[in-house]
Homo-oligomer: A and B are copies of this chain.
Amino acid sequence: MGAMRRAHHPATEELSLPEVMAALSDPLRIGLVRLLADGAERGWGELRAPVAKSTLSHHLRVLRDAGVTRTRQEGTRCFVVLRRRDLEDRFPGLVEALLGAADAEDVGGGVHLASDAGSTAACR
């Protein structure tokens, strides 16, 4: 793939509150964070969103540049994980509050895993 040259990944101390807030102000990106909320590392290929792959790549980059997620590359594919610990250290309670609110109104519901049946209606 495109090398993902210099994946950047800001250090914990470098996280910027406005930047993180901005990264978390897009429904699609909130949806991605919700998917990653369980702490599991997800493969790019598992992610399904109603946008072109280049657009999804862009959003994942915004999250990564802001320090919200960490991307790892393994062979041809890459994996994403939420940097929950780092975020909690710098902005205590922020992610939890966001996730609570986002779940309550299903923000970013268009984003789901490949294994999911139909987004909201997971079971049955």
A contacts, CB < 8 Å to B? 17-19, 21-22, 24-27, 30, 90-94, 96-98, 100-102, 105, 107
Contacts and interface: CB of A to CB of B under 8 A. Distances in A.
A93 B88 CA distance: 13
Which secondary structure dominates chain A's binding surface?
helix
Contacts of A19: 25
A107 B17 contact: yes
A17 B91 contact: no
A18 B100 CA distance: 13
A102 B17 contact: yes
B30 A25 contact: no
A91 B100 CA distance: 7
Contacts of A90: 101
Nearest to A24: B21
